[in-house]
Amino acid sequence: MANANSSSPILTDVTFSGNTSGSSGAEMFNTNGSSPSLTDVTFSGNSASGSGSSGGGLYNYASSPSLTRVTFSGNSASGSGGGMINAGGSNSTLTHVIFSGNSASSAGGGMFNGSSSPTLTNVTFSGNSAGSTGGGVYNNSSSPALTNVVFSGNRAAYGGGLSNYSNSIPTLSNVTISGNSASTSGGGMNNSSSSPTIANSIIWNNQDSSGAGTAAASIQNSNSTPAIRYSLVQGSGGSSSWVSSVGTNGGHNIAVDPLFVTPVDPATAPTTAGDLHLTTGSPAIDAGNNAAVPAGVVADLDGAPRITGSAVDLGAYESQPAVALTVTPTPTATRTPTRTPTATATWTPTATPTPTSTRTPTRPPTATATRTPTVTPTPTATATRTPTVTRTPTATRTPRVLPALTGLTPKSADRGGDAFTLTVNGIGIANGAIVRWNGEALATTFISTTELTAAVPAARLSAVNVAQITVQNPNGNVSDAVAFFVTENGAMVISSDAATNADPGGTVIVAAGGAQNVVAAAQGAGTIAVAQYNANPGGALPFTGASAYMDVNLSSGNAFTEVVMEFGGLGSGSQIHWWNGSAWGLASQQSYIASSNCVIVTVNQTTSPSLSELTGTYFIGAVGPTAVSLAAFTADRLADGVILRWLTAAEVDVVGFNLYRAASAAGPYTRLNADLIPAQGDAMTGASYDYLDTPGFGVFYYQLEDVEIGGGITRHGPISAQSGATRRLYLPLITR
């Protein structure tokens, strides 16, 4: 199902199951402001199977659907976002949503967010997996708000529960992260150049290569400083003995067992087993800060009342008052067996007899006796699946994701500059790794498993270009490329991104920038890179109000069919201009979206610029040009006069032109044309003009005047030219 151009259907009690697509958005694709409303909808067993395809269940681009009581189960993507992907400013709203058993070969087993900030309330991520990063959720330049959310039994190479990259600042309130596993780092959470804010939350019993329950297994940070307060974080030492590698201590943090009903063993991830409700006597009860509960939140993940004691509990579930224990035995027996098989099934293979015998008396004997035959085959089924779970990550994870680059310093250099040292940061870098520039090896120095330096010779900076930087480990594994920009005018890249898609029917998304940014979605196969500059990298501007400087580059030999770019953070009336190497012109196919303060630009083979012109092409967002964006004004000598030519890149509210001539640069100037020369261009495209002047022999000076609808005029010039054929003076030959 595809929804485009502000199409917003309402769907209730619908199931999408078993569908397969060779491109992104296997079951539903929303784009260009389409924001459907989904209630009691299920996405189950759908697959985006094409190479690099994303969004196994739901794909949103520049769209913000509303989801209530929606389930994503068993969906998959060969790229990112096994269950759901939000990109290009898709700020979806999710309430009472479950992501269970979804998978992605790359990032975001449950959900992938790219330059998007959805709102998640009462959401569960359990048993999801990603071959690369973010088993439950992956955020890139995104700042979602998470309230009453559980991450349980998810798995990835980095960030088993969730991964935050590239200036992502998610807000976590009453979130429980437990039983997640990362084969490399950040079993609970992995942060790279991101700074989440965490309050009233629990991060406990996660696992990565450092072990289970370590500080790194809870939260792994690279150039990141999460702000943590009123939370329970294993390995943090609590506020009294804070471990700084975890993040910034905001006070009132603890690091003791939260006493879950049935803990989740991270070694079994991906799994949906376990019960993360708090038992009586849990230190997480009444340990939170009521002021940190988002406004309007009055219930927990179960829908039970929130804040039942002196203070809010930590985590997604609120412990209910003692009156709940006085209910007649029948309801107790009904609720208890619901959790009993889960606990017994999960712990029978690994738990010692003592816990089993301890918990058995707390459940009615009838329920225990009834469930015993069921429990016996459950471990057998678990044991049968375990080897499969173990083998799948082993086969997928290591060759695909190691090493992975997280940044370059610097990100750019000026054309014609001196040789310099490039610092390459990443994860999974082995001693002996080599930095490659467009595939060619650079002299490389190993610093650590997260850093290399490489010597870049001056010869690499001889021309403006975009280089693809990769790292190759000694075992042959090569990272994805990160773009390095050779620019001019001293403009430096402050943010960049690059990605590759091998599927001709797929879509690849990249994003760069902060408050003002660019998100580009390229359809087809190839590599695309984007960047944001700190200053104008092109020629002099013929307009005012420039506020964003961007760069978009498509790899040589790409097979892209269309690129849709969203330039965000721009004021009312802004337009996008591009630099063709000699002049600025308006992008021909663009529209301003007032509701999100952005401009959408579409580029294909018939637009200006065209796909073939996106070769490190500069773009500028600005309020608008002057009446005429003049690309050229020339005067050339002919045998019988002077030919005047001018070329415009854009004409805004212009009615026509006048030409003036003088015998000296200082004037006085005389108008040449009797009638106004009509304007042929418009705000999106310019036009070319020529005029023949026959002033006789000599050197003459010319000015061009554009006349606006309101009567305003602007003069350009002067320029000069010799008129007429060269005259020769013949002298008599005198002989004696």
Which CATH number fits the domain that encloses residue 519?
2.60.40.10
- Exposure letters 216-232 (e unless 16+ CB within 10 A, then b): bbbbbbbebebebbbbb
Six-digit token string for 253: 């943090």
Q: What stretches in the chain show pLDDT beneath 50? A: 26, 323-401, 726-731
Query: Residues 691, 672: contact at Cβ < 8 Å?
Result: yes
Find the domain containing 529 and state its range: 402-624
Helix (H) or strand (E) run with residue 218 in it: helix 215-218
Q: What digits encode the pLDDT tens for the residues 665-693?
A: 888 999 999 999 998 887 656 789 999 99
Query: Residues 283, 254: contact at Cβ < 8 Å?
Result: yes
Fill in the amino acid letter for 564.
Answer: V
Six-digit token string for 177: 């992260």
Helix, strand or coil for residue 245?
helix
Looking at the domain assignment, is residue 21 inside a domain?
yes
Neighbours of 523 (CB within 10 A): 19
How many Cα neighbours within 13 Å face the side chain of 326?
3
396 and 541 share one domain: no
204 and 68 share one domain: yes
Six-digit token string for 3: 């929804």
For residues 408 and 495, give the distance between their C-alpha atoms in angstroms, rounded to a whole number: 10
31 and 174 share one domain: yes
Q: How many residues does the chain have?
A: 736
Model pLDDT, residue 342: 37
Number of helices (H), then strands (E), belonging to the chain: the values are 5, 62
* Rounded alpha-carbon distances, angstroms, from residue 80 to 130, 428, 471: 8, 20, 22
* Rounded alpha-carbon distances, angstroms, from residue 437 to 198, 449, 461, 563: 39, 20, 12, 25
Model pLDDT, residue 513: 64
679 and 611 share one domain: no
Give residues with Cβ within 8 angstroms of 705, minimum separation 6: 657, 658, 659, 660, 713, 714, 715, 716
Looking at the domain assignment, is residue 245 inside a domain?
yes
Tally of domains in the chain:
4
424 and 387 share one domain: no
Looking at the domain assignment, is residue 734 inside a domain?
no
Model pLDDT, residue 641: 87
525 and 619 share one domain: yes
Model pLDDT, residue 587: 85
Looking at the domain assignment, is residue 319 inside a domain?
yes
104 and 133 share one domain: yes
218 and 142 share one domain: yes
137 and 217 share one domain: yes
DSSP labels, 149-198? EEEES-EEEE-SSEEEESS---EEEEEEEES-EEEEE-SSEEEES---EE
Q: How far is the first Cα of the chain from the last one, in angstroms, to the nearest whole number?
A: 103
Looking at the domain assignment, is residue 528 inside a domain?
yes
Phi, psi of 299 (to 5 degrees): -135, 160
Looking at the domain assignment, is residue 730 inside a domain?
no
User: Which residue has tokens 């070694």?
Assistant: 267
Of 376, 400, 424, the residue that ends a domain is: 400
Six-digit token string for 418: 């001196």
Q: What digits encode the pLDDT tens for the residues 459-508?
A: 999 988 889 899 999 988 888 788 899 988 888 888 887 777 777 877 77
Looking at the domain assignment, is residue 732 inside a domain?
no
User: Which residue has tokens 């999106």?
Assistant: 684
Give residues with Cβ within 8 angstroms of 207, minimum separation 6: 160, 180, 181, 182, 187, 213, 217, 266, 267
Looking at the domain assignment, is residue 597 inside a domain?
yes
| DSSP secondary structure code for residue 583 in this structure | -
| DSSP secondary structure code for residue 609 in this structure | S
Burial class (CB in 10 A: 0-12, 13-18, 19+), 77: buried
409 and 490 share one domain: yes
Q: What digits encode the pLDDT tens for the residues 127-184?
A: 999 988 999 999 988 899 999 999 999 999 999 999 998 788 999 999 999 999 999 8
Q: Which ranges in 273-429 belong to alpha helices (H)?
A: 329-347, 353-359, 365-375, 377-401
321 and 337 share one domain: no
302 and 384 share one domain: no
* Rounded alpha-carbon distances, angstroms, from residue 496 to 132, 338, 499, 534: 20, 49, 11, 12
Model pLDDT, residue 8: 79
Of 269, 300, 325, the residue that ends a domain is: 325
Of 600, 624, 648, the residue that ends a domain is: 624
For residues 485 and 731, give the distance between their C-alpha atoms in angstroms, rounded to a whole number: 63
Fill in the amino acid letter for 148.
Answer: N
| DSSP secondary structure code for residue 24 in this structure | S
